[in-house]
Every structure is written in structure tokens, then in C-alpha cells.
Amino acid sequence: MQKVWITGASSGIGLACALRYAARGAQLVLTALPGGELDAAAGKCRDAGAAGVAELPFDFSESAGLPALCESAWNAFGGLDVVYCNAGISQRTLVEDTSDAMVRKIMEIDFFAPETIARCVLPRMLAQGGGHIAVTSSISGKFGFPLRSAYCSAKFAVYGFFETLQAEYYHRGIRVTIVCPGRVQTAISMSALDKGGKPHGQMDPGQAGGISPERAAKTIVRAIDRGRREVLVGAGELTMVYIKRFFPGLCARLVRRIKPQ
């Protein structure tokens, strides 16, 4: 029976992954912002067949409580086999409209939180003989994208840290999967920070036409099962990752032509 901790578990990719694990009879630790959405997500997982569900609400912009959160997650069912750091926040602002406070909030939630969680659970996983840590980066962690300067920066940082973690601990039984979604139909654009730090409150057209969270979750959970180092999640937009890899100049020109939204 797998013991799985998922952050950002109240909706979107996190909830869809939780439901897939629940259908297997896993024991789940779910973390998201406090409120009814987390309670509802836990109920859905119980109904889907989870052997147990522990709710650990948390605001990832408040980093001081992370070590205690990790301890609670680890102890909820007596250890963890899979930790999936999925919680995140985005933005929709030009660089000149991006405040220092916004940059720091995005970095705190999107980079420092998963980095801290990984460092907290790592010694425990090593002591139990291994474990799997997955993290949501983005295809925007591979190339810059308009209106997402801080978001891209955080996702680039995520990639660097977790790729290093993978290199250092692979031979000690630690597996790392870096998840790079493109367009998925989630609420991330709705809650993205707009000018003044307010929620954007709109679904991006491209995102609205993305793949479903359920389809994304199927790809992600399969990648974790197979111990894949990286998984790209999306549809046609993933082509940009390969254009960046093999034709970086062309990628830069294409990105410059993207209409900010």
C-alpha cells in the first residue's frame, strides 16, 4: 500500500493525481490552503477508495512552518513512499509591473517550499531505504515567457535543484521526477498575481484549450511509477521545448511574437 503526500491537492493536477492514487487504495496526505476545497478533495479521495486520508492545510507563503508540516506528513501514516510537490502560483505582469514582494512570494511558494520539503523528507527516505520525490516545474522552466518573469525564474530554479538532488542521491534509492506541464485546464491563471498583487481572475484562452487535469494526472502518475527523470505534460505546445533545445534562436523569436495574455 503506497503512502503518498501531495501538495496543491485541492484542485487541478494535484486533485486528479490524488484521485488516481486513491483508486489504488493508497494512503494519502493532502495539503492545500485551508478551507472547503481541501475538505471536498479529501472526501472525493475517500469515496474513490483511498485507504486513509489525512488533511494538512497550509499556506506555502509562510515558510516558517514547513519543517513541522513535513514531520506531520511523514507521521500521518508512518512514512511516505511518494512526495509530490505540486503547489504553485503564477503571475500575469510585465517585468516593470512586477514588485519585489510579488517576486518573493512566487519564489517562496514555487521554489523555496518544494526545496525545503525535499530537504526535510530526504533524510527520512534515506533511512527507510529510498523513496520518490516529484515536483511540478513547467515548460516555462525551460524558456522565458511573457508576463511570467518571476514564475519562470522559480521554475528554472526548481529544475536546477531537483536535477541536482537526483544526481546526488539516485544511487542511494532516491528517485526524482520533474513534471513539466504545458497547457492544462486548471485554475492557475485565475489565481495568478496581476498588477498590484491581485488575482488575475481570468482563464487564459490557451489554457482553456489545454488537456484535462485527469489526462495530465494519468501521464504524471505513470511517469512516477516508472521512475522517469522528467515528464512533459500537454499537447502541441510541448514542441517549444524541443525547438528551444535544438533551435534556441528560433525559440527566442517565437516567444517574442507571443501576444501577452
Q: Which pLDDT does position 2 carry in this prediction?
A: 97
For residue range 66-120, what is the model confidence (pLDDT) as tens digits? 999 999 999 999 999 999 999 999 999 999 999 999 999 999 999 999 999 999 9
Residue 206 has pLDDT above 90, yes or no: no
Q: How far is CA 43 from CA 24, 38, 50, 77, 177, in A?
A: 16, 9, 10, 18, 27
Backbone angles phi, psi at 139, to 5 degrees: -65, -20
Type of residue found at 96: E
Q: Are 57 and 87 in contact (CB under 8 A)?
A: no
Contact in structure between 9 and 41 (CB atoms under 8 Å) = yes
**What would the pLDDT profile of 71-84 be if each residue is shown by its tens digit?**
999 999 999 999 99
Which residues are tagged catalytic? 151
pLDDT range class, residue 204, cuts 50, 70, 90? confident
- The answer to whether 4 and 80 are in contact (CB under 8 A) is yes
CA distance 225 to 243: 28
Q: DSSP labels for 199-227?
A: B-----HHHHTSB-HHHHHHHHHHHHHTT
In the chain, % of residues over pLDDT 70: 99
Q: Is the pLDDT of residue 198 over 90?
A: no
Q: Cα–Cα distance between 252 and 145 in angstroms, integer?
A: 9
**Who's near 63: CB < 8 A, 6+ residues apart?**
108, 112, 113, 116
How high is the pLDDT of residue 216? 97
Torsion of CA 16, 18, 19, 24, to 10 degrees: 140
List of domains in the chain: 3-256 (3.40.50.720)
Distance CA 76, CA 56 (A): 9
- The cell 513512499 sits on which residue? 81
Q: What does the pLDDT read at residue 72?
A: 98
- pLDDT value of position 189: 84
Residues 135 and 231: beta-carbon distance below 8 Å = no
Mean pLDDT of all residues in 120-135 = 98
Q: What is the DSSP string of 34-100?
A: SSHHHHHHHHHHHHHT-SEEEE----TT-GGGHHHHHHHHHHHTT--SEEEE-----B-B-GGG--H
192-209: average pLDDT: 81
Q: Which of 94, 96, 98 is nearest to 107 (CA)?
A: 98
